[in-house]
Amino acid sequence: MARSLPQVIPNLVDQHALEASHLWLLRSLSVRAPHYSLDELARLDERLEAHLDGLRVAGESGWDFVKKALEIGEPGEVFAAAVLAFESADEGRTQDVLAVGMATSEAERGLISALGWLSYEQALKPMNALLASSASAHRRLGIAASAIHRRNPGPALQIALASDDPLLKARALRASGELGLVDRHTTVLANIKAEDSACRFWAAWSTALISGHKDAVASLQNVVESGGPFRERAVQMAVRRLPLRDAKAWLTKLAKEDRQLRTALIGAGAIGEPEVIPWLI
């Protein structure tokens, strides 16, 4: 007897699409939240995967719902649509999600996360296509996805490190640290004095992560003291690479400035020194 297709209930499929988007947003916040345990994150992942499964089972109807949700342009909606598109290897679907996902930096987070959600085997084909693209925005996405899977993108990374596109170059500098590419150390270190602020930061961050080079740590301290969007990441890395006495003295100095108090608190959490607990209380 022929196997019958599952009955599609539109309201249920719509609920799967909504929940998948919402749970991705919750997950993106939770992975950086100090009060979430690995077990809690795993349960959250299971809930998200269950809704993605509901969309998969719905077939074309599932795609229709996530494609319509793409019109919102938010990262959660991009994530859900991108997972289905990349899994299907359908060129039309892939172009739809890339068009929306590359429109803003926020939406791009959903694209990168979708490629990271897939198994490496599933993600390999779209990642290779992105890395081989003539568009620097696509190559940036491919490098980010490769870093999530902890796979060296190879020649594409070297080309990106020499690129005139600051966004692409910054992503390559970041990936060099995430992948622990010691052989790129000299190239990365040379960029701590780059003109672009993002390139300077990620060069310092990656160098500090890989080797703890004193110039890189000093550059991170400068990022913190100068303010800007990278200061919270910078303080976390800097205090972990400074000698403990120097780190505590620096945080004490930061805490005396009202505008740096939050940054000092973040640094205190990163350093994990019990002596700061009375001050935190």
* pLDDT tens readout for residues 12-68: 899 999 999 999 999 999 998 888 999 999 999 999 999 999 999 999 999 999 999
| pTM for this prediction | 0.90
Does residue 3 surpass a pLDDT of 80? no
pLDDT of residue 272: 86
**Which two structure tokens, joined as six digits, stand for 218?**
């000093």
pLDDT of residue 278: 86
Contact at 8 Å (CB) between 115 and 146? Answer: no
Q: Which helix (H) or strand (E) holds 13?
A: helix 10-30
* Nearby residues of 129 by Cβ (< 8 Å), 6 or more positions away: 138, 142
Contact at 8 Å (CB) between 160 and 168? Answer: yes
**Which two structure tokens, joined as six digits, stand for 17?**
């699409």
* pLDDT tens digits along 192-212: 999 999 999 999 999 999 999
pLDDT of residue 1: 46
Measured in degrees and rounded to the nearest 5, phi and psi for residue 222 equal -65, -40
